């Protein structure tokens, strides 16, 4: 009986292994590596740019594959490629730059350090701190394509109608928010849900919720004053419903826009083009951007981050590494190309050119570029790419979000958020310091 | 086991009187092998072999044999408890509702057969045909009180926004409703098929005896299709305990709202794809398989699902 079982198991294993080898050959379709092609994976938005590069380099064999922007897609595919030891893309675009932490980890070993491939002079041209997302233990594993610094978006018409001033400090912001909620019921001045809440408020305050020290070490400490001051800011506003826990992509949030209930909304740069008009249906000539309010004891306005993209080069690219790095450099830094991209370029010179068109955009009540440029140059440090990004969002909703809904003490709930973050970090093989 | 397979022909041989029987028996054996063969092959290639490979993967860590290391790591993961709790609650809501829906709709269709029966079966089947990102959008709007046709009902349940619907306790209800809508259609077709195949003389006899539609259903039809109901139960339990599509689809519609490790199967997927740890993924998948097999064994042994006339007599 035992021998029979062992034999059948061995047969099964052999069958499974031969099955893997057999199907892996022709059908994978990602065998660019064998043909000496440069295999490039980009999302739909970045595909035309990659094709432009291909056209400009007729001597290079380039294969462009359009991938879905879903969270987790790239790690999934790379994980499978790691398993079969083939089929890795030479260049990949990440719609979720936090995945760089996964792809650069020892277990994945996919992302190649770019320090030797992209000159320092080029890397220095990116918005200050924007490459922090890509940097682990002093090495740069990706180049940012676009960044999503937060600014204070506001409705100029409502502000004028209600007789309010655009707040300069968070204390002003809180006062204005509470006043608006009282005088004009249903009006909101912010959203605290997932990355929108945690990235905008906790990110701009510099609360260490995901401060990556290296690929295996993360600093999480929610007892800091940079965290408790966010809880204190939001507490009365959550009680009076001046901030909402509804996620901005929820149809119910769009309803707030249609009903003229969004007075202010601190949020990422891309909210300007992609949320206020298309989703919230706020007519043109009303929305403007101001720098994020300043935190107590500081005079500089710091921005949080919600989103953005990044390019990675494969550690398996072999003799195509140089070509791969050149493509990534061009895609992220070419000013003419980046000027046409939909979101705020990470490369400062490109952002300037991008802003020339944005400044004249008739949608905005006033030129949003001064606020956006200032925000891009004032990213709050300590907001790293972590492998537990999804849990980081879910745990925020589970603790701070839930407490804000039920009117519980937000300061106290930070302790349970800390626990959840630590647990998530540890299962992702970080040591928490 | 050896004796069992060898015993049959020897037991048949010493019976001299049934001369035509061995031939018929032989023909039947060939037919059995032809009928069972493809299934056995598929079971081996897509069932047993992957399971064996998974077992091997679960016992290996970084290329060397590690015993129960992956298993211990999985059982120690704090996310497993939460996921198991979610799935259990989901099953407690979904399974009875699904079974009731399937039974009541199939019996209603059978009790009042007519021209619309076929059309209705198609209608029940439709929700399951919408998949992927279309399903994500569809369901996101279904749970948004302002756009949903079920808006008033949602508001009655104190769900004011889609964010409300997808957080806390209401998420399980939403997933259960989604699961019923997606799965019920297929089972209604199966059960309706079983009902139409029931012997007409029995049903006519009941009619002649004056049994009401309700009594016919309860005392005649239901016992006759019991094994089909058991089959629905086993399959649904297996697919329900491995719930993956519903939370995954919903979370593509509302990114960041639902934990990527909401269900046990999602956790296994995250192990393999996001943590790059196939050992843990294999261990958890096998544990899920064990749960499914156990449930199947219980249902089969309790309902006598594979009982044939001869085994019943014996």
Which CATH number does the domain housing residue B87 bear?
1.10.3720.10
Give the whole-number percent of chain B exceeding pLDDT 70.
88
Tens digit of pLDDT for each residue in A70-121? 888 999 999 999 989 999 999 999 999 999 999 999 999 999 999 999 999 9
**Interface predicted TM-score of the whole assembly (ipTM), two decimals:** 0.80
**Is the pLDDT assigned to residue B7 strictly greater than 80?**
no
- Across chain B, the runs of DSSP E, i.e. the strands, are 60-61, 64-65
pLDDT tens-digit readout, B194-228:
888 888 888 888 888 888 888 888 888 888 888 88
The single-letter DSSP state of residue B30 is: H
Q: Give the range of the structural domain holding residue B262, as residue numbers without chain letter.
A: 78-304
Q: Which of A334, A430, A340, A357 is nearest to A391 (CA)?
A: A430
CA A343 – CA A149 distance, rounded (Å): 11
With 0-12 / 13-18 / 19 or more C-beta atoms within 10 angstroms meaning exposed / middle / buried, residue A236 is middle
A259 touches chain B (CB under 8 A): no
Q: Do B166 and B258 touch, CB atoms closer than 8 A?
A: yes
- The pLDDT value given to residue B13: 46
Of A83, A247, A427, the CB nearest to B163: A247
Q: Is B129 a domain residue? A: yes
With CB atoms and an 8 Å threshold, state whether B163 touches A251: no
- Please report whether residue B94 resides in a domain: yes
Q: Are the C-beta atoms of residues A302 and A204 closer than 8 Å to each other?
A: yes
In the DSSP assignment, the letter for residue B212 is -
A412 lies within 8 A of chain B by CB: no
Nearest partner of B274 among A108, A132, A403, judged by Cα? A108
Res B23: pLDDT: 53
- pLDDT tens-place string over residues B129-185: 777 667 777 888 888 887 888 888 888 877 888 888 887 778 888 889 888 888 888
B161 touches chain A (CB under 8 A): yes
- Whole-angstrom distance, CA of residue A62 vs CA of residue A40: 7
Structural domains present in chain A: 30-147+307-356 (3.40.190.10), 149-304+386-432 (3.40.190.10)
Instruction: Label residue A378 by pLDDT band (50, 70, 90).
Output: very high
Q: Which of residues 314-373 of A touch B (CB under 8 A)?
A: none
A252 to B161: CB separation less than 8 angstroms, yes or no: yes
On whether residue B183 sits in a domain, the answer given is yes
Question: Out of A247, A249, A251, whose CB is closest to B147?
Answer: A251
Q: Is B197 helix (H, G, I), strand (E, B) or coil?
A: coil
Q: Is residue B110 part of a domain?
A: yes
Question: What is the structure's pLDDT at A88?
Answer: 95
Q: What is the 3-state secondary structure (H, E, C) of chain A?
A: CHHHHHHHHHHHHHHHHHHHHHHHHHCCCCCHHHHCCEEEEECHHHHHHHHHHHHHCCCCCEEEEECCCCCCHHHHHHHHHHHHCCCCCCEEEECCCCHHHHHHCCCCCCECCCCCCCCHHHHCCECCCHHHHHEECCEECEEEEEEEEEEEEEEHHHHHHHCCCCCCEHHHHHHHHHHHHHHCCCCECEECCHHHHHHHHHHHHCCCCEEECCCCEEECCCCCHHHHHHHHHHHHHHHCCCEECCCCCCHHHHHHHHCCCECEEEEECCHHHHHHCCCCCCCCCCEEEECCCECCCCCCCCECEEEEEEEEEECCCHHHHHHHHHHHHHHHHCHHHHHCCCCCECEHHHHHHHHHHHHCCCCECCCCHHHHHHHHCCECCCECCCCCHHHHHHHHHHHHHHHHHHCCCHHHHHHHHHHHHHHHHHHCCCEEC
pLDDT at A26: 33
pLDDT above 70 covers a percentage of chain A that reads 92
User: Is the separation of the CB atoms in B77 and B261 below 8 Å?
Assistant: no
| Mean pLDDT to the nearest integer, A174-200 | 95
- Confidence (pTM): 0.83
Distance of CA B95 to the CA centre of its chain: 10
Which residues in chain B are contacts of A245 at CB distance < 8 A? 163
Number of other CB atoms surrounding residue B19 within 10 Å: 8
Instruction: Examine residue B70 and state whether it is found in any structural domain, yes or no.
Output: no
Residues on chain A touching B167 (C-beta within 8 angstroms)? 397, 401-402
pLDDT (mean) for A51-67: 94
pLDDT above 90 for A134: yes
Nearest to A67 by CA among A90, A87, A95: A95
The pLDDT of residue B309:
62
Q: Rounded mean pLDDT of A163-180?
A: 96
* pLDDT (0 to 100) of residue B311: 61
Return the ∠ at Cα B96 (arms to B92 and B100), rounded to 5°: 165
Q: Domain for residue B118, yes or no?
A: yes
Q: How many residues does chain A have?
A: 433
What is the CB-side half-sphere exposure of residue A215 using CA atoms within 13 A?
19
Overall average pLDDT of the A330-357 stretch: 94
- Mean pLDDT, rounded, for A9-14: 41
* Phi, psi at B28, each rounded to 5°: -65, -40
Residue of A289, A288, A269, A298 whose CA lies nearest to A130: A269
Measured in angstroms, the CA of B257 and the nearest CA of chain A are apart by 7
B22 in a structural domain? no
Contacts of A24 (CB under 8 A, 6+ apart): A84, A86
Lowest-pLDDT range of A94-98, A240-244, B61-65, B253-257: B253-257
Length of chain B: 314
- In the numeric block, which tokens belong to residue A25? 């050959």
Cβ of A157 under 8 Å from any chain B Cβ? no
pLDDT at B246: 84
Please provide the average confidence, as pLDDT, over all residues in chain A: 90
Residue A9 pLDDT class (50, 70, 90 cuts): very low
DSSP conformation class of B159: -
Contact of A216 with chain B, judged by CB distance below 8 Å, is answered with: no
Q: Residue A336 pLDDT > 50, yes or no?
A: yes
Question: Which of A16, A387, A393 has its CB closest to that of B50?
Answer: A16
Contact A1 B1 (CB under 8 A): yes
Mean pLDDT of A173-182: 96
Task: Tell me whether A245 touches chain B (CB under 8 Å).
Answer: yes
The candidate with the shortest Cα–Cα distance to A192, out of A205, A183, A182, A179, is A205
Can you tell me the distance from the alpha carbon of B193 to that of B213, in angstroms, rounded to the nearest whole number?
Answer: 18
Q: Whole-angstrom Cα distance, residue A335 to residue A357? A: 13
Number of domains composing chain B: 1
pLDDT score of B26 more than 80: no
Q: Do residues A173 and A200 touch, judged by C-beta distance below 8 A?
A: no
The C-alpha atoms of residue B193 and residue A202 are separated, in whole angstroms, by 58
A125 has pLDDT over 60? yes
pLDDT of the residue at B156: 81
Count how many pairs of residues, chain A against chain B, have C-beta atoms within 8 Å.
Answer: 113
Question: What confidence score (pLDDT) does residue B312 get?
Answer: 57
pLDDT of residue B11: 43
Please answer yes or no on whether B167 and A12 come within 8 Å at the CB atom.
no
* pLDDT, position B310: 62
Please report the pLDDT score of residue A32 as a whole number. Answer: 45
Whether residue A251 and residue B146 make contact (CB cut-off 8 A), yes or no, is yes
Give how far the C-alpha of residue B271 lies from the chain's centroid of Cα atoms, to the nearest Å: 24
Q: Using one digit for the tens of pLDDT, what is the confidence trace for A16-42?
A: 333 333 333 333 334 445 568 999 999
Q: Is residue B226 one of the residues assigned to a domain?
A: yes
Nearest alpha-carbon partner for A235 in A288, A265, A289, A190: A190
């Amino acid at each position: 009986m035992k021998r029979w079982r062992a034999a059948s198991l061995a047969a099964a294993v052999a069958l499974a292994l031969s099955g893997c080898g057999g199907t892996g050959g022709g059908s994978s379709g990602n065998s660019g590596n064998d043909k000496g092609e440069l295999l490039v994976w980009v999302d739909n938005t970045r595909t035309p740019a990659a094709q432009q590069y291909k056209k400009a380099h007729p001597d290079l064999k380039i294969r462009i594959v359009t991938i879905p922007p879903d969270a987790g897609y790239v790690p999934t595919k790379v994980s499978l490629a790691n398993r079969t030891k083939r089929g890795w893309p030479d260049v990949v675009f990440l719609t979720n730059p936090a995945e760089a932490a996964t792809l650069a980890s020892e277990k994945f070993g996919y992302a190649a350090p770019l320090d030797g491939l992209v000159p320092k002079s080029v890397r220095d041209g990116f918005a200050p701190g924007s490459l922090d997302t890509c940097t682990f233990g002093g090495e740069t594993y990706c180049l940012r394509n676009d960044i999503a610094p937060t600014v204070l978006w506001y409705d100029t018409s409502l502000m004028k109608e209600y007789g309010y001033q655009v707040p300069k400090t968070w204390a002003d912001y809180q006062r204005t928010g509470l006043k608006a909620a009282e005088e004009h019921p249903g009006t909101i001045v912010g959203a605290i849900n997932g990355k929108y809440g945690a990235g905008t408020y906790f990110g701009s305050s510099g609360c260490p919720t995901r401060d990556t020290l290296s690929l295996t070490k993360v600093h999480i400490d929610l007892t800091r004053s940079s965290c408790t001051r966010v809880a204190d800011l939001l507490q009365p506003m959550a009680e009076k419903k001046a901030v909402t826990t509804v996620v901005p992509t929820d149809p119910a949030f769009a309803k707030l826009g249609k009903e003229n209930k969004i007075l202010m909304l601190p949020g990422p740069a891309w909210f300007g083009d992609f949320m206020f008009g298309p989703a919230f249906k706020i007519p043109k000539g009303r929305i403007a951007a101001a720098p994020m309010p300043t935190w107590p004891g500081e005079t500089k306005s710091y921005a949080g981050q919600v989103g953005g993209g990044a390019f990675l080069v494969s550690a398996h690219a072999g003799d195509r590494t140089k070509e791969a790095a050149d493509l990534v450099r061009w895609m992220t830094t070419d000013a003419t190309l980046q000027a046409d991209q939909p979101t705020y370029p990470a490369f400062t010179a490109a952002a300037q050119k991008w802003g020339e068109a944005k400044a004249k955009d008739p949608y905005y009540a006033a030129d949003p570029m001064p606020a956006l440029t200032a925000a891009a140059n004032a990213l709050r440090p300590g907001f790293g790419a972590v492998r537990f990004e999804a849990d980081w969002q879910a745990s925020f909703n589970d603790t701070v979000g839930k407490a804000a809904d039920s009117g519980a003490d937000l300061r106290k709930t930070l302790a349970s958020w800390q626990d959840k973050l630590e647990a998530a970090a540890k299962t992702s093989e970080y040591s928490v310091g | 086991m050896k004796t069992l397979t060898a015993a049959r022909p020897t037991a048949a041989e010493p019976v001299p009187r049934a001369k035509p029987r061995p031939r018929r028996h032989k023909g039947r054996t060939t037919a059995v092998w032809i009928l069972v063969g493809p299934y056995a092959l598929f079971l081996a290639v897509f069932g047993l072999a992957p399971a064996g490979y998974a077992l091997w993967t679960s016992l290996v860590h970084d290329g060397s044999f590690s015993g129960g290391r992956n298993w211990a790591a999985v059982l120690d993961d704090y996310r497993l408890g939460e996921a198991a709790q979610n799935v259990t609650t989901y099953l407690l809501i979904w399974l009875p509702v699904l079974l009731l829906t399937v039974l009541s709709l199939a019996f209603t269709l059978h009790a009042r057969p007519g021209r619309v029966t076929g059309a209705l079966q198609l209608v029940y089947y439709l929700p399951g045909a919408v998949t992927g990102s279309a399903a994500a959008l569809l369901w996101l709007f279904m749970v948004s009180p302002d756009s949903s046709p079920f808006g008033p009902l949602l508001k009655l349940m104190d769900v004011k926004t889609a964010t409300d619907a997808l957080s806390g306790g209401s998420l399980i209800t939403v997933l259960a409703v989604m699961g019923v809508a997606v799965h019920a259609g297929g089972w209604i077709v199966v059960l309706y098929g079983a009902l139409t195949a029931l012997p007409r003389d029995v049903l006519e006899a009941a009619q002649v005896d004056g049994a009401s539609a309700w009594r016919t259903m309860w005392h005649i039809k239901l016992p006759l299709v019991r094994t089909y109901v058991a089959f629905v139960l086993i399959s649904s339990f297996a697919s329900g305990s491995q719930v993956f599509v519903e939370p995954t689809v919903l979370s593509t519609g509302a990114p960041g709202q639902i934990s990527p490790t909401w269900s046990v199967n999602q956790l296994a997927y995250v192990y393999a794809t996001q943590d790059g740890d196939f050992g843990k993924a294999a261990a958890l998948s096998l544990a899920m398989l064990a749960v499914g097999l156990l449930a199947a064994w219980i249902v089969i042994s309790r309902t006598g699902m594979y009982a044939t006339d001869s085994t019943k007599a014996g």
